[in-house]
Amino acid sequence: MNIPAKNISNNSLNQLKQFTTVVADTGDFEKMKAYQPQDATTNPSLILKAAQQSNYQNLVKTVKQSHPNANINQLVDYILVAFGLEILKIVPGRVSTEVDARLSFDISATIDKAKHLVNLYKESGIDSKRVLIKLAATWEGIQAAKELESQGIHCNLTLLFSLVQAAACGDAKVKLISPFVGRITDWYKAKLGPNWSNEINGGPHDPGVISVKGIFEYYKFHNISTEIMGASFRNISQIIELAGCDLLTISPELLEELQANVITVTKKLGAKNQPLNSASESMTRLKLDEPNFRLQLNADAMATEKLSEGIRNFCIDTQKLESILLN
């Protein structure tokens, strides 16, 4: 009798967990149970997807009935936290809950929204240490995170595509960043078009993988304590190439694929036989006031375009979620 790969103790997911904290990237909390992640992340798109599934209609209905006088902005907050509360029943660690992307360029409104979300969790008996507030890594988002961190509210800076954003987050002493591996790769793949080759541009040469490795080296060289959590993966090769990263947040589909495989996973980041390249240009500590941050981010076409696109799409999905809740 053949034993399914997912039941084999040395499957790729279990191997990965030896080097990296595995996080589930989904609003579908029922799906994540099988993979035993430490933490979980959500975003407006994932919550929108989950809220439309039949098995979560009772949760959505209960939230609406419990807050009959809530306006639509309040109702969205209640839904986000309701999903977060269910997730925290499954994961032993933290859940990331995202602030409305439409506030990505408003420092004070972002701070107010973040505090409100944390208070909603507290009202349900959740310690603030188990909640990460997700903010887009705009200049305003990073400055809001700096203030929130000073008040004991930990943040996850998302939609991060460049060393410039990562460096500014490190300066702000944010708890965690989420560089978007797959979306970086998407941009370069589209740019190269027919000249893209998985053999040449994949594996350790994948642009998204290279970006995260650069951030990892920069942080470790400068003793920056901010956690790095690779995100937005397109395939398990990208994940395996980043084994050793502080955390990796992975969709249920790719978690299942890792669990069903016995591909050997070795530590790629922070391995003793791979010393940091201190001579690298990326090791220079960046000095980033607001003008320099904006100028250097603007010089990176990929990061600029993907950040703008990400905010737009999260705004659209938040509006879609609002429409569903109004029906």
User: Known catalytic residues?
Assistant: 134
Q: Give the per-residue pLDDT at 276.
A: 54
**pLDDT tens digits, 4-56:** 444 577 999 999 999 999 999 999 988 899 999 999 999 989 999 999 999 99
Q: How many helices (H) and strands (E) does the chain have?
A: 15, 8
Q: How far apart are CA 48 and CA 44, in angstroms?
A: 6
Q: Give the per-residue pLDDT at 5.
A: 46
Instruction: Tell me the residue range of the domain where 162 lies.
Output: 5-326
By CB atoms closer than 10 A (0-12, 13-18, 19+), residue 97 is buried
- Centre a 10 Å sphere on the Cβ of residue 111 and count the other Cβ atoms it contains: 21
Q: Give the per-residue pLDDT at 3.
A: 38
Q: Is the pTM of this model over 0.75?
A: yes
Residues of the chain with pLDDT under 50: 1-6, 278-280
Which tokens sit at 214?
Answer: 């650069």
Decide if 247 contacts 230 (C-beta within 8 A): yes
Amino acid at 150: S
Q: Give the per-residue pLDDT at 9.
A: 79
**pLDDT tens digits, 118-156:** 999 999 999 999 999 999 999 999 999 999 999 999 999
Q: Give the per-residue pLDDT at 284.
A: 87
User: Which single residue is written with the structure tokens 């310690």?
Assistant: 127
- The phi and psi torsions of 104 (rounded to 5 degrees) equal -65, -15
Decide if 297 contacts 162 (C-beta within 8 A): yes
Closest CA to 59 of 89, 92, 17, 25: 89
Name 51's Cβ contacts closer than 8 Å, sequence gap at least 6: 27, 60, 79, 83, 321, 324, 325
| 313 three-class SS | helix
Q: Give the per-residue pLDDT at 272.
A: 63
Q: Give the per-residue pLDDT at 7.
A: 54
- Centre a 10 Å sphere on the Cβ of residue 14 and count the other Cβ atoms it contains: 17
- What CATH number does residue 259 fall under? 3.20.20.70
Decide if 16 contacts 70 (C-beta within 8 A): no
Q: How far apart are CA 163 and CA 233, in angstroms?
A: 18
Which tokens sit at 46?
Answer: 């994932």
Q: How many domains is the chain built from? A: 1
Which tokens sit at 186?
Answer: 């998407």
